[in-house]
Amino acid sequence: MKIHVRWLDRDHRVILQTFDPDWSWADFAEASRLEAKMMDTVDHQVDVVADGRSVQLPGRALSVMPEIRNSSATLNHPNGGNYILVGINRVVQTFVEVYTSVFKQHGTKVLFANTFEEAYEVLGLSPEDIEEPYE
């Protein structure tokens, strides 16, 4: 799988998502299934922080929007919280903005951050909360 997921914090409230350069929509669906399994292990909200600094969109982006809506653990799991994209480029941001305007119920859960520090601040994480620092 070319999208990697792991717990970011000691309390298992945040999942970190990182992308290999050649990730696919199938990888996104598989990562979402793994995230759902991780969310099944806790009884509280789980947010996802996605490292978007080097993310490029695979083909068929517009046509897979319904699949994203149906498979995203962050947006569909009872414990799913916010999905914070860190450092994305303008193309990815435009895609996400189109997605959230089409699927308005998900739009309030998708956030943007320029840096990991900004994402951690939004989530109320302090350095001692982070299991393995990631930058």
Are the C-beta atoms of residues 39 and 77 closer than 8 Å to each other?
yes
> Which two tokens mark 19?
């992308």
Domains held by the chain: number: 1
The answer to whether residue 83 sits within a structural domain is yes
Q: By mean pLDDT, which of 17-21, 44-48, 65-69, 88-92 is the weakest?
A: 65-69
The answer to whether residue 52 sits within a structural domain is yes
* CA–CA gap between residue 29 and residue 23 (Å, rounded): 11
Which stretch of DSSP H or E encloses residue 37?
Answer: helix 25-40
Residue 58, domain CATH? 3.30.750.24
pLDDT of residue 130: 82
Mean pLDDT within 2-12: 94
The answer to whether residue 135 sits within a structural domain is no
The answer to whether residue 82 sits within a structural domain is yes
The answer to whether residue 131 sits within a structural domain is no
The answer to whether residue 133 sits within a structural domain is no
For the entire predicted model, the pTM comes to 0.90
Beta strands 14-19 and 3-7 are antiparallel
Contacts of 101 (CB under 8 A, 6+ apart): 107
* CA–CA gap between residue 13 and residue 47 (Å, rounded): 6
**Predicted confidence (pLDDT) at residue 53 exceeds the cutoff of 80:** yes
| Per-residue confidence band for 106, with pLDDT thresholds at 50, 70 and 90 | low
* CA–CA gap between residue 34 and residue 129 (Å, rounded): 22
> Which residue range is the domain that position 42 belongs to?
3-126
Share of the chain above pLDDT 70, in %: 96
Amino acid code (one letter) for 31: A
The answer to whether residue 99 sits within a structural domain is yes
The answer to whether residue 105 sits within a structural domain is yes
